[in-house]
Amino acid sequence: MPKEVRRRIFYCLIAAFLVLGTGIVLYAQGWRLGFQPLGFAKVGAMYVRTFPADAKVTLDGKLKERRIGWIGKGTLLGDLLPGEYELGVSAPGFQPLAFSVVVSSTIVTNMQNLVLVPDTPTLVTSTTVRDITLAGTTLLLQTASGTHTLAGMPIRGGTVLAASEDGAVILSYATSSRNYYAAETARATSTNLGRLPNQVSGRDVLSFQPVPRDDTLFLAKSSVGLHLIRMPSGETLRLTTTSVIAAAAAPGRIVWATFDAKAQISLLSSYDIPSRNRNADFELVPGRVTSLLFLGSGEIFAHTQDGSLYSMNLGQSSRVRLAQNVRSIAPSRDDSKLAILDGRGVEIVRLRGDEPDLWLALPDIARVQKLVWHRDGDHLFVHYPDKVAFLDLRDTALRNFSTAAPSAVAEYEPNGNILYFLKDNMLYKLEFPNS
């Protein structure tokens, strides 16, 4: 073979090595050739986790094999060129989901907690049920006769006022006798508290609420002040004798508001239960406060009569007007997010992390009655007068804004992940998938 030919072959092999080696390196780094548009781009990926776990996942109509990797129990869809994809999720017995998902170069797009709504509810009881209430984590039923029952145990008194977080103690009131009752569900007993001590007389008490993480302590707001009441003994501690317009409890702490009509301001005070320290008038809020929300982190939210929502922190001068025209607020289960219902839609405020806040327009917004968080913190139950809809916070186009329950009377129990509702005076439940 002539020397010149051997030289050309050698140079061709070197060129081929450089081209193939460069191509292999670029491929390993995530570079791919795309045709729409034509050119080279680094690939991205999509992490998908569905509930139920065995749901079918499609991308642009093509079924994707489930590959469970080290990042979790979901599916990692890799080698995706940058662009918009149609993600579909379906399973027998559930309403399907569809999302338009944008994938970016070198980034894993997170699509976890894709929850499918069950198609068919289950009948819980064949007897007539007039109303349902969530007592802590247990469902309280009102029978056709008006009697309240919890796990089969009758609750004395015609009106249920409050329940501890775990439902271990339920406080009720009998209008005819003006007596209070404390039912202990574990012992299946009910204690007649009478009219409670004189400073909390039956005709004066307006509202009760449980103190978080204390199964037997309740906060009572009345026209003659604010009291802490230990159940079932009825032992009472007076916090203030002034007229309280709103109050809220956090683990080990209480905050309340009084109103100065002359100055048109509300004054906030607090009480630390373990240390018994009081902090009077530590913050003022313009206008009249109608409700307070007190989180375990010390964050306080005050909703005023003109629809303003103020946020502040206990012990700090940090009042900020967070929103206007607010109708109601709801904290997520872990207190990391706050759902604010206003006259246009729902705003999601992130209380932790650096994710941006989110706003979604809702249909028939004037008819929305309340918002309830699903336990994953990525979904909301939206209560209308005739139904409960299920909202995925990533679904800004509302493509999957479906009806979960065809009833206005509904309660979501997060521990069991069950939505209970009444239809034609019959009790049904939707069991959402846990895995």
Q: Where are the beta strands (DSSP E) in 276-334?
A: 277-286, 289-294, 299-304, 309-313, 320-323, 326-331
Res. 104 pLDDT band, cuts 50 70 90: confident
Q: Is 261 left (phi over 0), alpha (psi -120 to 50) or beta?
A: alpha
Res. 26 pLDDT band, cuts 50 70 90: very low
Question: Residue 184 to residues 196, 208, 218, 249, 399: CA-CA distances in angstroms?
Answer: 17, 17, 14, 21, 45
SS3 11: helix
pLDDT at 64: 79
pTM: 0.86
pLDDT digits (tens, 9 = 90+) for 198-232: 545 545 656 889 999 998 899 998 877 899 998 87
Q: Is the pLDDT of residue 374 over 90?
A: yes
HSE of 299, CA atoms in CB hemisphere, 13 A: 16
Q: Is the pLDDT of residue 34 over 90?
A: no
CB 75 within 8 A of CB 97: no
Mean pLDDT throughout 181-189? 82
CB 115 within 8 A of CB 432: yes
Pairing mode, if any, of strands 97-103 and 189-194? unpaired
Q: Is the pLDDT of residue 268 over 60?
A: yes
Q: Is the pLDDT of residue 16 over 70?
A: no
CA 400, CA 387: separation in Å to the nearest integer? 15
Res. 29 pLDDT band, cuts 50 70 90: very low
CB 74 within 8 A of CB 89: no
Question: Residue 195 to residues 210, 234, 376, 413: CA-CA distances in angstroms?
Answer: 19, 10, 41, 32
Res. 323 pLDDT band, cuts 50 70 90: very high
pLDDT at 33: 44
**Helices (H) then strands (E): counts for the chain:** 1, 41
Mean pLDDT throughout 275-289? 94
Contacts of 305 (CB under 8 A, 6+ apart): 287, 288, 289, 290
CA 171, CA 211: separation in Å to the nearest integer? 13
Mean pLDDT throughout 401-411? 95
Residue whose C-alpha is closest to residue 130's, from 149, 111, 112: 149
Find where tokens 């309240």 sit: 148
